[in-house]
Amino acid sequence: MIDADDARRMVGELDDLVSFVKVGWALYMAGGNQVVREFVERGKQVFLDLKFGDIDETVKRLVLVAVDQGVSFITLNAGFSAVRAAVKARGNTQLKILLVTMLTSWSEADLAEMGFTLSASEYVAFRVKGAIEAGCDGVIASGREVAEIRRIAPPGFLVVTPGIRPGGAGHDDHKRAVTPGASILAGSDYLVVGRPITTAANPRLATTAILEEMQQAFDARTPSSR
């Protein structure tokens, strides 16, 4: 069970190591807007990961609330019309709008079950192209598709990668998990890391190890992949 006080303690414990804090549905339901405001007031950049998908007007209102709350990143899992509405509602503010391409818990078998005949890479490319045309700042995508996204996306287009698992760790429910280093080498800008840190015996040690692996990968990246 997610507890808002546990989240506050974790943010405090990792205060000097992380600048972004993800607030997903479970924490949002436990702490509401209050926890978002608290993290912003503590100087954190809030990644509001609600993967919101609804009609244009509802998505527009969510974006307006996110702007008012001082959120930095917000995720949508919506149609392109709703994405365009979100971008318009965001205006000239600093809020970054990110579209989910394909959940890392999905495989091609899941796409087929839903009636899609596209491969995972084709489906992700379709979503990326739509996100670009709609004016999105970036996408949420598995590290397995990042290299291809970099080939079709313009410079400055953000790729945020979840499903991160250190080498040797279990993948849990992620079917397309990638290590921190491999994802950064492929071209990811940001990584979303949850359970490898929150369930670790020593969250600070786990965070430090992941950050060191990320930095080594950033240092090793070629200029064209940065």
Which positions are annotated as active-site residues?
Answer: 51
Q: Which amino acid is at 30?
A: A
Q: What is the DSSP letter of 178?
A: B
How far does CA 143 lie from the centroid of its chain? Answer: 11
Contacts of residue 125, defined as CB under 8 A and 6 or more positions apart, other chains included, come to 148, 149, 152
Contacts of residue 35, defined as CB under 8 A and 6 or more positions apart, other chains included, come to 4, 7, 8, 23, 27, 28
Residue 73, phi-psi category: left (phi > 0), alpha (psi -120 to 50), beta (remainder): beta
Query: Which SS3 state, helix, strand or coil, does residue 52 take?
Result: strand
- How far, in Å, CA of 82 to CA of 158, rounded? 19
184: its two tokens: 């950064």
Distances (CA, A) of 158 to 19, 104, 111, 172, 188: 17, 17, 24, 26, 8
